[in-house]
Amino acid sequence: MTQTEPETVPAPAPPQRVTHWIGGQRVAGVAERTAPVYDPALGTIRTEVPLASVDEVDRAVASASAAFVSWRTSSLTKRSQVLFAFRELVNQHKHELAELITAEHGKVLSDALGEVSRGLEVVEFACGIPHLLKGGHSEGVSTNVDVYSIRQPLGVCAIISPFNFPVMVPMWFMPIAIAAGNAVVLKPSEKDPSASLLIARLWEQAGLPAGVFNVVHGDKVAVDRLLEHPEVKAVSFVGSTPIARYVYETGARNGKRVQALGGAKNHMVVLPDADLDLAADAAVNAGFGSAGERCMAISVLVVVEPVADELVKRIRERIATLKVGDGRRSCDMGPLVTREHRDRVASYLAAGVDAGAELVVDGRGVQADGDEAGFWLGPSLLDRVSPEMSVYTDEIFGPVLSVVRVGGYAEALELVNANPYGNGTAIFTNDGGAARRYQNEVEVGMVGINVPIPVPMAYYSFGGWKDSLFGDSHAHGTEGVHFFTRGKVITSRWLDPSHGGINLGFPEND
Ligand code: NAD
């Protein structure tokens, strides 16, 4: 046997216990309440995370509030220098960040690295903050009167993030918030909290003054305190729809600016003229990548007959080649985030069959390349799903792809538009006119044409419609800059120096 390079990356050493990060320091939680953080590929508890009390949240907000006073007056040059330095540091530490993501979330390392790269794009966008904050100027709107607009920071901004992108989702918001002159309190998901502490250290090394970026771990207690704290001016939330709605309503009632991105049920429409190999590849990547735990995952294939039999066959062939296992090994798909979540996702397979769907591929009992105790569920495919089945109505958030067969474009469009979610959608076709019509008629915030996961670049804004977003600002891009700043318009009159006052040597007007 020849000696080969080991294919696996060892799990990063577990931290003793996760701490908060307040005022530029690690702060051990004093709260008696803690939550376990799992390594989902091993099925073991990796570490514990403190669940902050109201006092601990208050301490983080006070630290941010104090730091805001001088950060908001720091020059744009200084702020963009910090952003550039942060960009370099995240890039240098991207493997470390990816290993932490894989250890606590379970997604495969290449996917975790991709997550860091997408987050970095927003940091790069925010490096251009001097340009992004430029206002307008109208000279001479009246005699000696000029009008101009500026954008100013808000103060303390809270970010509350979900488990499925522990690096990318906070980075949708924090680089822009900070670059615009705000101070931030991040409340990451308690399921995979460790990456947020490495991010905090990188901000510190980048030269960000202590207190401008804080991390406080916790659950509903911490979120509720952030939603009612008078010093918190804006809340950026990403998570499931019921909590997004609650955060939006509670934050707004307390006078805060809120953007709350919710859950999803993304449909991919396949017209009969589509390239079926392209569509099958896309369905498999978008349905099972990150074990389906993506808000932009495709969960419903809406196939316009007569191509459903052929498409299902090609997807089944591709699923058979997927390797499920520990994300630190060379696998295509990792475990689900917790045992409880895996069991909930798996329960939909039985529910689908009971309701009359056809289980084409059953991921239960998958042979994973990893520890037996890991939270495994293989890719699963349900055909002949209909809109009243729970497998269709509910956001499953796992590796379960449903096929709904329809008779034509109009039926496909009606189905997508009737769905309460409106995060992402895709259409696969070779007919440009059909694609153009779909982009115009579909009631969804992000649309892909022969692209299954149409996540916008950082200089556009990310966000869904309907129950996938509460509030009126999407994340990053121009909308992100607007969310983290308030506009001010100045109307100024300066009398011509020839009209009296100190004689500066200007010729007198007639
Ligand atoms: P979640 O709603 O359970 O949790 C999100 C955040 O809310 C976490 O920080 C959590 O601690 C907090 N939280 C949980 N319960 C709460 C409560 N009762 N009161 C106050 N705060 C509470 O979501 P999750 O399971 O971590 O993430 C998966 C969900 O996020 C999916 O629904 C997915 O579609 C959604 N998501 C949406 C987007 C998007 O852009 N629209 C992006 C990523 C994830």
Q: What does the domain layout of the chain look like in residue ranges?
A: 20-262+468-489, 266-449
Please tell me the predicted confidence (pLDDT) of residue 482: 98
Please tell me the predicted confidence (pLDDT) of residue 107: 98
Q: What is the mean pLDDT of residues 470-497?
A: 96
The hierarchical CATH code for the domain 20-262+468-489 is 3.40.605.10
Residue 316 Cα to ligand 1 middle (Å): 31
Q: What is the mean pLDDT of residues 127-141?
A: 97
Residue 127 Cα to ligand 1 middle (Å): 28
pLDDT tens-digit series, residues 30-80: 868 999 999 999 999 999 999 999 999 999 999 999 999 999 999 999 999
pLDDT tens-digit series, residues 92-107: 999 999 999 999 999 9
Ligand 1 atom closest to Cα of residue 475? 40
401 phi and psi angles, rounded to 5 deg: -110, 130
Please tell me the predicted confidence (pLDDT) of residue 496: 82
pLDDT over 60 at 6, yes or no:
no
pLDDT over 70 at 221, yes or no:
yes
Please tell me the predicted confidence (pLDDT) of residue 395: 98
Q: Which of 163, 185, 340, 344 has most ligand 1 atoms within 8 Å of its beta carbon, as the pocket-test mutant?
A: 163
Residue 188 Cα to ligand 1 middle (Å): 10
Element counts in the chain: helices (H) and strands (E): 16, 22
Please tell me the predicted confidence (pLDDT) of residue 317: 98
Question: Residues 445, 448, 453, 457: is their CA dihedral positive or negative?
Answer: negative
Please tell me the predicted confidence (pLDDT) of residue 2: 37
Mean pLDDT of the chain: 95
Q: Is the CB of 239 under 6 A from ligand 1?
A: yes
What residue owns the CA closest to ligand 1's atom 24?
162
**Has 157 been annotated as catalytic?**
no
pLDDT over 60 at 224, yes or no:
yes
Q: What is the mean pLDDT of residues 487-492?
A: 98
- Distance (Å, rounded) from C-alpha 248 to C-alpha 266? 22
Q: Is the CB of 240 under 6 A from ligand 1?
A: yes
pLDDT over 60 at 170, yes or no:
yes
Q: Is the CB of 162 under 6 A from ligand 1?
A: yes
347 phi and psi angles, rounded to 5 deg: -65, -25
The hierarchical CATH code for the domain 266-449 is 3.40.309.10
Report the half-sphere exposure of 447 (CA within 13 A, side-chain side): 19
pLDDT over 80 at 303, yes or no:
yes
What residue owns the CA closest to ligand 1's atom 16?
220
Please tell me the predicted confidence (pLDDT) of residue 504: 74
pLDDT over 60 at 509, yes or no:
no
Please tell me the predicted confidence (pLDDT) of residue 31: 65
pLDDT band, residue 500 (cuts 50/70/90): low
DSSP 211: T
Ligand 1 atom closest to Cα of residue 161? 9
Q: What is the mean pLDDT of residues 173-191?
A: 98
Residue 306 Cα to ligand 1 middle (Å): 38
- Distance (Å, rounded) from C-alpha 138 to C-alpha 143? 12
Ligand 1 atom closest to Cα of residue 462? 40
What residue owns the CA closest to ligand 1's atom 9?
189
Residue 190 Cα to ligand 1 middle (Å): 10
Q: Which of 127, 157, 295, 331 is catalytic?
A: 295
Please tell me the predicted confidence (pLDDT) of residue 501: 64
pLDDT band, residue 256 (cuts 50/70/90): very high
Are 104 and 37 spatial neighbours (Cβ–Cβ below 8 Å)?
yes
Q: Is the CB of 155 under 6 A from ligand 1?
A: no
Please tell me the predicted confidence (pLDDT) of residue 3: 40
Diameter over CA atoms, the chain: 100
Candidate from 266-270, 467-471, 498-502 with smallest mean pLDDT: 498-502
- Distance (Å, rounded) from C-alpha 56 to C-alpha 188? 15
pLDDT tens-digit series, residues 423-479: 999 999 999 999 999 999 999 999 999 999 999 999 999 999 999 999 999 999 999
> Amino acid letter at 106?
G
pLDDT tens-digit series, residues 359-396: 999 999 899 999 999 999 999 999 999 999 999 999 99
Q: Is the CB of 470 under 6 A from ligand 1?
A: no
pLDDT over 60 at 4, yes or no:
no
pLDDT over 90 at 502, yes or no:
no
pLDDT over 50 at 182, yes or no:
yes
Ligand 1 atom closest to Cα of residue 160? 9
Ligand 1 atom closest to Cα of residue 341? 25
Q: Do domains 20-262+468-489 and 266-449 have the same CATH topology?
A: no
pLDDT over 50 at 510, yes or no:
no
